[in-house]
Chain A
Amino acid sequence: MDNSDLETKIMKYISENFLYRTDYNNVDKGASLIGSGIFDSTGILEIITYLEEKLNIKVEDEEVIPDNFDSINAITTFTRKKLDGIAKGEAI
């Protein structure tokens, strides 16, 4: 899966699950998902469950920080690193 496929998957998931829409092209990839109110208090846990179940990565507790999950860009970058096995801790 290349970067653009990955980003599309994540955008599509966030769009459908938090904005309840399928037209995901207008979503601002750099915007804070918490700050802009897209994520509610459990939003980040939902996206992590998705990544773990559908993309088969393992997210460690200490990696669950806003820097890794507060925007589509951040999530894509983090997931890419995990998929490439270069993230800190155990990869994949």
Chain B
Amino acid sequence: MCGIAGICNLGEPAPISVETLRRMVGAIRYRGPDEAGLFVDDYCGLGHARLSIIDLSGGSQPIHNESESLWIIFNGEIFNYLELRQDLLSKGHTFYTSSDTEVILHIYEELGPKCLERLNGQFAIAIWDSSKRELFLARDRVGIRPLFYVLDGGRFVFASEIKSLFSAGGVPCRIDPIALDEVFTFWTTLPGKTMFRDVRELPPGHYMMAAKGNITIRKYWELPFHHAEDHLDWPVDKICNEVAGLLLDATRIRLRSDVPVGCYLSGGLDSSGITALVRRNFNNNLRTFGIGFAEKDFDESPYQDRMVSHLGTEHSSVLADNTLIGSRFPDVVWHCEKPLLRTAPVPLFLLSDVVRGKRFKVVLTGEGADEIFGGYNIFRETLVRRFWAKDPDSKYRPLLIRKLYPYIFKDSRSKSTLGAFFAKGIEDTDDPFFSHRIRWENTSRLKSLFSDDLRSEVGTYNGYDVLRASLPEPFGSWDPLSKAQYLEAAIFLSNYLLSSQGDRVAMAHSVEIRLPFLDYRVIEFMGRVPPKWKIRGMNEKYLLKKVFAELLPEPILKRAKHPYRAPIQKSLFDSDRPELRDSLSGETVRRIGLFDPKRVEILLSKIRRSQKASEVEEMALAGIASTHLVADQFLTGFPYRPIVPVTVKIFVDRRSVAKN
């Protein structure tokens, strides 16, 4: 796991500054504090910050092929590299390291971009073909590892994080009003977009080729959902056996490492299942890490403790209290590089610090199971609302919504009116966004807080149209659950969960996460499993519970789904961190100009008065504070954290005239 950065001249050669490459690597040094390496020729410069995990002594990057015409820098892991290496050796390739990085280079030599279909892993790759003057960039199927780029005239600049791009100098830093519109609708930007006007992200499952003045971007993988005719008609036990086998193998190859691998353990079904798989099959001496909350409503410690004693792991946990969450919020925003409508990334940031403190660099997590196996309430809500839509006058069908959200229906008086809330749009079952529209419209209310200037810059932009145009062609023929799963995975998983609650907050403390549920073989198999086996009546993740039945104690298997969340109002209001207090001040609202000062003041005084802000108001609070923090950290106060000086272990200089 590492950080990568580079500059490529698309047209005529122009001097590439080694100092600039150093700065770009220095900006993301925490992604790879163990080593650094640089390559530079007349057309391309590559920089690498290494977190050494495989082939500790020999795997330094950049790595080259036999003829030294191809050079690679790589962030991530290829979990099936041992098998691929055998195959490449038999084809006559020779290796000078035992790393997975070198395997990518040789398989790329063999197959070109088609090599991506053979890689099972999480990755952002850059390969410079110095003889063809071609730069190849690729990102893993679901977007576990980040890759950003900017085209600045004839200069193409790319990096693992946006702050590295801005460290290159000459890259304009402007907040994109459209991005704000998207965040305040979908909870994140849509694939490819970032918070900054000129900065793009290579979408998951895509590669890009920069050569001869041109850039081409191609999709090589799509989230695999299918029409009902193509679903498997296997008996459920056979499906379970297949899933169990795939998960075991996905976990097995994710333990490949030359450093110890730990597990995140929340006490929920997913992380408990993965931890149990590791403990029972591969590692008797397992280290686990978990989060406890001082606020009881958010805390899962009793279940976590139960799993720890059940499996006998050596466990460390971090207690996330409100003060701590607030005080680290600005740091988390710096790492996530986008506004956050939640504080949930903060405890994960605190947790990776604990992991690093225990000298661990790698952990497995249970992330991705909800998307692939059907765990989220929004999926069940969709199915209930569709069932209700078939008999809209039924008195009993809406009661299922109550079963789904007992905590928002706990006030007896809300029964009838909340029904009306969830009935919104119920007749429009052909709407491609049927599953998510209530959530998105609810979030869009926050846009009433935008300033007039921001509103006019957003103009008539409509994120729904852009999203609709990006849907895969067969989307309309999928069943309702598959459609909802697709939207959740394509937008929220890759652009928020895997980044703001995944890569960014783990890498902030030089920790690599590995996600067995997102092995593409698991995803592709589950895409062919009929929806009735994912959610059975109101029972979510039915298959997964069956698969884990032998491994987990009953209270874990039977407990109600507990969404991972963190306190917002109590963490962000009256924080002892001055920057956070400033981010909500009237002066900051006026100075930055993205929100309407009067409306924000009304909102904040309402929240201050009420003991409990509504869900939308809490999102507003986090959204406004984090938008202002992004603006201050990147526009006026860049770099918010110092760029670290880099000592280079490998420096390959192929310039015709060497300069600085």
A34 within 8 A of B: yes
Closest CB-CB distance, B186 to chain A, in whole Å? Answer: 15
Contact B441 A64 (CB under 8 A): no
Contact B602 A41 (CB under 8 A): no
Given contacts A41-B421, A66-B420, is CB(A22)–CB(B414) below 8 Å? no
- By a CB distance below 8 angstroms, the chain B residues around A17 are 606
Q: Main secondary structure on chain B at its contact with chain A?
A: helix
Task: Report B571-605 CB contacts with A as 1/0, cut-off 8 Å.
Answer: 00000000000000000000000001011101100
- By a CB distance below 8 angstroms, the chain A residues around B418 are 41
Instruction: Report A41-91 residues with CB < 8 Å from chain B CB.
Output: 41-46, 48, 59, 61, 64-66, 69-70
Closest CB-CB distance, A15 to chain B, in whole Å? Answer: 9
Complex partner residue of B421 from A18, A34, A64, CB under 8 angstroms: A34
B462 within 8 A of A: no
- By a CB distance below 8 angstroms, the chain B residues around A39 are 421
Q: Which A-chain residue is minimally distant from B605 (CB atoms)?
A: A16
Instruction: Report B589-634 residues with CB < 8 Å from chain A CB.
Output: 596, 598-600, 602-603, 606, 614-616
Q: Which A-chain residue is minimally distant from B420 (CB atoms)?
A: A66
Contact B449 A20 (CB under 8 A): yes
A40 within 8 A of B: yes
Given contacts A20-B449, A37-B441, A70-B420, is CB(A44)–CB(B414) below 8 Å? yes
Closest CB-CB distance, B265 to chain A, in whole Å? Answer: 32
B91 within 8 A of A: no
Contact A42 B414 (CB under 8 A): yes
Cα-based distance from A48 to B414 in the complex (angstroms) = 10
Closest CB-CB distance, B614 to chain A, in whole Å? Answer: 5
Chain A CB count within 10 A is highest, among B416, B417, B599, for B417
How many A-B contacts if CB must be within 8 Å? 71
Contact A45 B411 (CB under 8 A): yes
Given contacts A17-B606, A66-B420, is CB(A37)–CB(B414) below 8 Å? no
- By a CB distance below 8 angstroms, the chain A residues around B442 are 37, 40-41
Contact A61 B412 (CB under 8 A): yes
Contact B424 A34 (CB under 8 A): yes
- By a CB distance below 8 angstroms, the chain A residues around B448 are 19-21
Complex partner residue of B413 from A16, A38, A59, A66, CB under 8 angstroms: A59
Contact A40 B614 (CB under 8 A): yes
Cα-based distance from A61 to B415 in the complex (angstroms) = 9
A30 within 8 A of B: no
Contact A45 B414 (CB under 8 A): yes
- By a CB distance below 8 angstroms, the chain A residues around B301 are none
Q: Which B-chain residue is minimally distant from A15 (CB atoms)?
A: B602
Given contacts A22-B598, A22-B602, A66-B420, is CB(A40)–CB(B413) below 8 Å? no
Q: Which A-chain residue is minimally distant from B615 (CB atoms)?
A: A40
Contact A37 B420 (CB under 8 A): no
- By a CB distance below 8 angstroms, the chain B residues around A64 are 413-417
Instruction: Report B14-44 residues with CB < 8 Å from chain A CB.
Output: none
Cα-based distance from A51 to B445 in the complex (angstroms) = 23
Given contacts A21-B599, A40-B614, is CB(A35)–CB(B449) below 8 Å? no
Cα-based distance from A64 to B408 in the complex (angstroms) = 15
B444 within 8 A of A: yes
Closest CB-CB distance, A76 to chain B, in whole Å? Answer: 17
Q: Which A-chain residue is minimally distant from B409 (CB atoms)?
A: A41
Cα-based distance from A16 to B414 in the complex (angstroms) = 22
Q: Please name 13 further chain A to chain B contacts, defined as beta carbons within 8 Å, in addition to the given A41-B442, A41-B614, A45-B411, sorted by A numbering.
A: A17-B606, A20-B448, A20-B602, A21-B448, A34-B420, A40-B421, A40-B614, A42-B614, A43-B614, A61-B412, A61-B413, A66-B417, A70-B420
6 inter-chain pairs at a CB distance below 8 angstroms, sorted by A residue, are: A22-B602, A42-B414, A61-B412, A65-B416, A65-B417, A69-B417
List 8 A-B pairs, minimum CB-CB distance, nearest first. Answer: A20-B599, A66-B420, A44-B417, A64-B413, A20-B602, A65-B416, A40-B616, A20-B603
